[in-house]
Amino acid sequence: MKYVLLLTRGAWQEEGSDQERGEVYGRLVEWFAKHRADGTIVDAQQLREPGTATTVVVEQGRSTMIDRPLLEAKEAIGGYAVVEAPDLDAALELAASFPVPDGKVEVRPVVER
Amino acid sequence: MSSADPAGARDTRSLIERVFREEAGRLTASLVRLLGDFDLAEEMVSEAVVEALRRWPSSGPPSRPGAWLLTCARNRALDRIRRDARFRDRLPQLAARIEALPETAEREPDDRLRLIFTCCHPALDPDAQVALTLRAVVGLTTAEIARAFMVPEATLAKRITRAKQKIATAGIPYRAPEPEERAARLPQVMRVVYLVFNEGCFTTGGDLGVRRELVDDAEWLAALLAGSLPREPEPLALLALIRLHAARWAARLDGGGRLVPLADQDRTRWDTRRIRSATALIERAAALGRPGPYQIEAAIAAVHCEAPDWKDTDWPQLLRLYDMLLAVDPSPVVRLNRAVVISHTDGPAAALAQVEALADQLGRYHLFHATRAALLRDLGRDQEAAEADRKALGLTTNPAERSLLTARLAQ
């Protein structure tokens, strides 16, 4: 089955020293490389900071723009991964192994056509 | 059921109900495993029950009702998967496995264990886990489950539907967890078994107002868990707890089907063999050196079972156990039960004060009002006691409890 992992940003991205952050990014690169290589991760992207986001709101056929991301800062999305897993347990296990000091991962199945 | 029903039809219905209870859960579990679809499996089994209800009253029940039901559900499942495109690719294998379904599932308890753990998957909302297990594994109706939860039936039905949909669309696997992850998922499964047992003791319907089958179901589920996890103390204690209540079963109701309070029960009617077996389980659990809430609850039940009569119950020991229980489970219902013990160690006035502090949380719980009534009566406040009993009466539909309360009000 195919799932999307929505990865939130964590406090670690704002706090701690450059060296500590560097270590986390190192582990992340390794993690993505490993799971891309074994075919679990089909696609993944890191997003720019939430401050760069624009939200377009469509109402009654008209659109307006808001200069902020969709979600509250504490659950701002930092990236996503499209994964192929045999079942939800496997996808949840992968999400739980996401190597960050703090953060949340939403695991959502994809509509397959 | 209307009184115009001939006695034969009534017997047939209670037979179907019993067979359904014994066989339907197992049958559903096996079909879910094969088809990977809860709704379809349940539909097959309930269609078989409907067929039985239609035929048995005129033809008379078959000699082996369980086997009849299995054959009927099996044929419907086969017919259905042949017409369903989803199963086309694996039709021959599926058909062979459905035809090979054993007559009694005693031989394969794994299916039920798998089903329980799937229903109690941590990706499901905890309340939905309990509801779904009661529906799919034990075969309770949504009305019965709604009462066990003290929530409206519509809410409950929605909860179950949503859980089933999530299992199917999110790809929750149908399997029992590996040994190392099993322990983490066990408390939720035990809570479900506990609620089944609770529903058996204080149920909404049934001829006697109490459904022994549910307690047996709970005992069966607890034995299944204890047997597959011999090094976990809590399932052993849960099994002991259920067994201790089952041991007092014969003394729980009087000739008129009225609930007999523990204080007034004829203790010579208690099943001493069962009590001994339960205390042995408690000792086995204690030897594993990891205390837990079910071990404390089982110890409380054992103190009652070992007392020669109500007034010689070891109340100080019970109070110590309730304090331990409160430390791990600070729920209002535990506080209510502890207050009953307080009435014996410190008197009814002290107990009443503690009970009344729970009014906000337990105002819709009939045993809150019944307990309060008993304490008020001890204090000679008969008018208020009667009022509290009437409130309790308005909140329970259990016939055995109702007749006890009605008798108390008539005194």
Which pLDDT score is estimated for B277? 92
Q: From the CB of residue B192, how many other CB atoms can be counted at a distance below 10 Å?
A: 24
A14 touches chain B (CB under 8 A): no
Q: Which of A3, A87, A109 sits opposite B173 (nearest CB)?
A: A87
A92 touches chain B (CB under 8 A): yes
What is the SS3 string spanning B92-142? HHHHHHHHCCCCCHHHCCHHHHHHHHHHCCCCCCHHHHHHHHHHHHHCCCH
Residues in B closer than 8 angstroms to A87, CB to CB, are: 171-173
Lowest mean per-residue pLDDT among A86-100, B113-127, B156-170: B113-127
Report pTM: 0.66
A22 touches chain B (CB under 8 A): no
Is A1–B171 a contact, with Cβ atoms under 8 angstroms apart?
Answer: yes
Cβ B225 vs Cβ B193: under 8 Å: yes
B197: burial class by Cβ within 10 Å (0-12, 13-18, 19+)? buried
Render pLDDT for B101-140 as a digit per residue (tens, 0 to 9): 766 544 455 677 788 889 989 899 878 887 888 888 777 7
DSSP alpha helices (H): ranges in B248-330? 249-252, 272-287, 293-306, 315-328
Domains and CATH numbers, chain A: 2-109 (3.30.70.1060)
Cβ B108 vs Cβ B87: under 8 Å: no
In this model, does residue B7 exceed pLDDT 60? no
Lowest mean per-residue pLDDT among A81-85, B221-225, B284-288: B221-225
B58 residue type, one letter? S
In this model, does residue B206 exceed pLDDT 80? no
Is B172–A88 a contact, with Cβ atoms under 8 angstroms apart?
Answer: yes
**What does the mean pLDDT of chain B come to?**
83
A91 touches chain B (CB under 8 A): yes
Q: What share of chain B in percent tops pLDDT 90?
A: 38
Domains and CATH numbers, chain B: 1-105 (no CATH), 314-411 (1.25.40.10)
Inter-chain CB pairs, A–B, below 8 Å: 20
Residue A65 backbone dihedrals phi, psi, to 5 degrees: -120, 145
Residues in A closer than 8 angstroms to B173, CB to CB, are: 86-89
ipTM of the complex: 0.83
Which pLDDT score is estimated for B14? 65
Which pLDDT score is estimated for B187? 86
A69 vs chain B: nearest CA distance in angstroms? 27
* Six-digit token string for B113: 């264990």
Which pLDDT score is estimated for B1? 38
Per the model's pLDDT, the better-predicted residue between B46 and A57 turns out to be: A57
Residues in B closer than 8 angstroms to A88, CB to CB, are: 121, 123, 170-173
Confidence of residue B12 (pLDDT cuts 50, 70, 90): low
Consecutive H or E run containing A66 = strand A62-66
Is B173–A92 a contact, with Cβ atoms under 8 angstroms apart?
Answer: no
**Quick one: closest CA in A to B169, which residue?**
A109
A112 touches chain B (CB under 8 A): no
Bridge partners (DSSP) listed for residue A6: A80, A106
3-class DSSP assignment, residue B324: helix
Quote the crossing angle between the two packed helices B25-35 and B38-59, to the nearest 10°. Answer: 140
